[in-house]
Structures are given as C-alpha cells and as structure tokens.
Amino acid sequence: MSGYGLLPFRFTRFDDARTIVVNEAGEHHFLANDDLQRFVMHELPAGGDTFLDLKAKHFLFDSGSIAPFELLATKIRSKKAFLGGFTSLHIFVISLRCEHSCHYCQVSRVSADRERYDMSEETARRALDLAFRSPAPRLKIELQGGEPLLHFERVRQIVEEAQRRAADEGREIEVVVTSNLAMLDDDMLVFFHDHGVFLSTSVDGPEALHNANRPRPGNDSYARAVDGIRRARAVLGHDRVAALMTTTRASLQSPEAIVSEYLRLGFSSIFLRPLSPYGFALRSIRTTGYSMREFLDFYVRALDCILDANAKGRYLAETYAQLLLTRMLTPFATGYVDLQSPAGAGIGAAVYNYDGDVYASDESRMLAEMGDTRFRLGNVHRDSYDAIFGGEALRRIVAASVAESIPGCADCAFLPWCGSDPVHHYATTGDVVPHVPTSDFHEKNFFIFKHLLSLYERDPAIRRIFWSWIRNEAVPSQEVA
C-alpha cells in the first residue's frame, strides 16, 4: 500500500508545545503539536523518527502485514483481562457495630444490639455458597464491619469454612480482615497466624489528627492502632499488615506529617484517599469535607514528600499512583473495582451485608443505609446466584459503566487508563452516567494522570521510582538507569 493508515487513538493537548496521543491499548506518545496535524493529515514522512515511533507503538500501519493488528488486538485483550475471572472479591460485613464513631464513617453503629446488627451463622454460610459459585480462579474474602473483631465467632466461622472449601475445590483463596485493631487480642492473632490472614487497618496520620478523625471512648484510637500494628507484625510478619488513610479537612494542612507517620511506622505503601461522598460522610460534609481541588493540592504535596523519601532510599509507594502508572506504562491488566470499564461493581466485587442483602459495592450498601436500595442485587436467603449475579439490577449497573460509551469519556485521551463508577456518579449527581465537565471523578483522575505524566517526563530519578512501584520492589542498589 502507499502512504499509511491510522489505528484507533485519542489525544489531548499536554502543554503549550506538545500533544499526547494514547492508543486503544493504552500506549502513549508525545507529539509536537505540528506533528499531530501532519500525522492525521497523512503527511508524516515515512522513515522519519516520528513515523517509526508511531508505527512501532501501533498508531499507524503502512503495509498489508497483519502483525500490527494481531499485536494490538492481543494488547487490548490483555488490558481487559481483569474481566475474565468475574467476581473475585467478596466482602462480608460481619457486623455493623463499632466502638469508634469516626466522622467520615459511612454506616457503622455504636450499639450493643447484637441481634440486630450482627451477621448470623446461616447468613454467612449462604454468602459463602454464593462466593464459591463465582468462576474466579482466585477468591479474595474480605471481612469488614463495622468492626469485625466485635463479632469474632463469625470471623472464625467464615475463615475456617472458606479455607476448607477452597482446599476441597483446589482453589486459591486470600483472606483479609479490615479492622481498627483496637480490640485485637492474642487469641485472635494466633488464629490469624494459623490461617494466614492479612490485616488491613486505618492510620490517618499523626496521633492528634488520627484521634480527631477517629473518636472512641478514651480517645485512644491511635495508641491502640499502633500497638495493634506492632503486635500483629510480630506474630504475622511485617508485610501482613497494611494501612489505609482517609483524607479529611483536618488532613489537608498536614501532608508532610501524614507521610512522615507512615514512614515512621515502617509501611511500604500509603493510599491517599479522598472522602467518599456517602453516608455520614455526606451529612458531615461541612466539618470534614473539602473540594476536589483542595484534595488534589493535598495529593500533589503528599506525593512530593513520598517521592523525596524514595529518592533518599526509603521505599514507600502511593497506592493510587502505583495503580495508575501500571495502567499507563505496562501492558498488564489491573482490576480496581472503583476505576475500571466496565466498573467492578458486582462483576469484580460483591458485598454481603450483615442482614444478607447483597450489594454491588460498599458504596451501594451505604446508599441503601440512606434509604436508596437501587444497587441492591438481592438477598442471600431469598435469591439464587443467577438472579443476583445475572439479574437486571447488575446488568443495568454494568451497562451504565462502560466508559467507552459515556459522553465525555469516549473521546478522552486517558480513557484506556480510566473507568467509571456508576454508584459514585449516582451518589453525587443522581445519575449513573457522569456529567464529565462537572464531575469530581473526572477532575480527580484527569488531573492525576497528567500530573504523573509530567513527573515521569521531567525527572529520570522519579521515573525510576515509579517503575519500582510498578514492580512493587525497592530500587535495586546496583542501578542500570
């Protein structure tokens, strides 16, 4: 053939001089603005560097060879491989009860009413039946609350039964317990050790900030969490305990102190998370809330601190950047239920509430607590697996979350790295389809993609740190780059 043909891609102006083009498989290339013009007008000189770069990255083709199409097709298929296993994450809300009363917490209750707020043995068993119906080769069972340690007999039952069934079926299983660790005792630790359980806890920052965010009787949330982390590491191993932080209005001023706290506590990752617009969080927006712009300013400052620490030889990965960079720079699939297309609600993760209701996501459950049950997929006592995981409710959610068909997403340069979260869009705007120009979801992700690219482009040392996050290993001492 003469000349060349274009392969599917999207683009956006990156800075004054350059445009970024991203192909369907998520490979990107920077072009001088003039070159973009030449490229789409079929005027790039064949054999020039720009031509060859775009050809090698599958933005154009210039022969009858099937190779570019075969390679591109494989890469697109690989990127969507997270869909292959169907629902792999199964979240059990063991109890709604909690002795904390965090301002941002979505749904937990300080209550002694076990009858009312605890998951029953029968509900747990039926939920496990559903989880094991999933075709996913690897199952992840996450036990949360409320505070799951307040209902430890149910923790025991689910972990033991899940592991027994996994062994019978020859399936891999991972169990995570999400806890504030305040009620962690030695018997529990021995149980976790014997069953290879991972712990996920909350650390919001230095003691004063943490305790202000997470009130409990005695105002000792921080001391109990730190003590729990120390004891759990001693018994389970250092890497079996991870922590998450939630950003509140009070956090915005202290990115340095929060990052320092994670370093001091010896963590290898930190997840800078904004508040979720749900439940109590939405109601207390005036005291704990902030705009997305304020969060992003915080994110940038905190990320700088994290990069500084890494540059000095201390490995600390920011979990969200790690996820996005893996999507941007590698051919691998990364499922993340809150940011994928179609969304992971129901098809990547399912939530079994204490009362047996099944939700497409934790956020769906929180909306239900506020009286809106539209994202409830069914109930473990009343509905079959097929009705819950193949029913209309889930089909509607999935169909609404295909970013490739959402106005404003469909032609966004960063679409191959991004996704949609219909539950979030609904909670914030009343519509499962986002209004992209005013969406905080779009504002956040578009900004962070661009920010990460700028950092990556600017500094070879940062590039190396980013790659070490992608590999999830500290930068080797003998450096090639």
In the complex, the residues that contact other proteins under the rule CB under 8 A are: 27, 52-53, 55-57, 63, 65-67, 70-71, 74-75, 329-332, 463-464, 467, 470-471, 478-481
Nearest distance, CB of residue 475 and other proteins, angstroms = 10
Nearer to other proteins, 229 or 329 (CB): 329
Tokens for 377, please give them.
């997929």
Nearest distance, CB of residue 400 and other proteins, angstroms = 31
CB 255 within 8 A of CB 298: yes
Q: How far from 305 is each of 31, 291, 301, 310, 318, CA to CA, in Å?
A: 31, 22, 6, 9, 11
Please give the Cα distance from 237 to 240 (Å, whole number).
6
**Ranges assigned E (strand) in 236-283:** 241-246, 269-270, 272-273
Backbone angles phi, psi at 391, to 5 degrees: -85, 175
**Ranges assigned E (strand) in 380-416:** none
Nearer to other proteins, 334 or 429 (CB): 334
Nearer to other proteins, 34 or 70 (CB): 70
Q: Which of 331, 356, 347, 354 is CA-nearest to residue 421?
A: 347
Q: Which of 244, 242, 254 is CA-nearest to residue 274?
A: 244
Nearest distance, CB of residue 263 and other proteins, angstroms = 24
Nearer to other proteins, 49 or 168 (CB): 49
Nearer to other proteins, 57 or 425 (CB): 57
What distance separates the 2 farthest-apart alpha carbons in the chain? Answer: 77
Please give the Cα distance from 413 to 415 (Å, whole number).
6
How many other C-beta atoms lie within 10 A of the C-beta of residue 322?
18
Q: Given CA atoms 271, 272, 278, 284 in this order, what sign does their dihedral have?
A: positive
Nearer to other proteins, 6 or 110 (CB): 6
Nearest distance, CB of residue 27 and other proteins, angstroms = 6
Nearest distance, CB of residue 44 and other proteins, angstroms = 14
Please give the Cα distance from 217 to 170 (Å, whole number).
44
Nearest distance, CB of residue 41 and other proteins, angstroms = 22
Nearer to other proteins, 235 or 333 (CB): 333
Please give the Cα distance from 159 to 161 (Å, whole number).
6
Nearest distance, CB of residue 25 and other proteins, angstroms = 8
Nearest distance, CB of residue 72 and other proteins, angstroms = 9
Nearer to other proteins, 70 or 220 (CB): 70
Please give the Cα distance from 397 to 97 (Å, whole number).
29
Identify the H or E element spanning 377.
strand 376-379
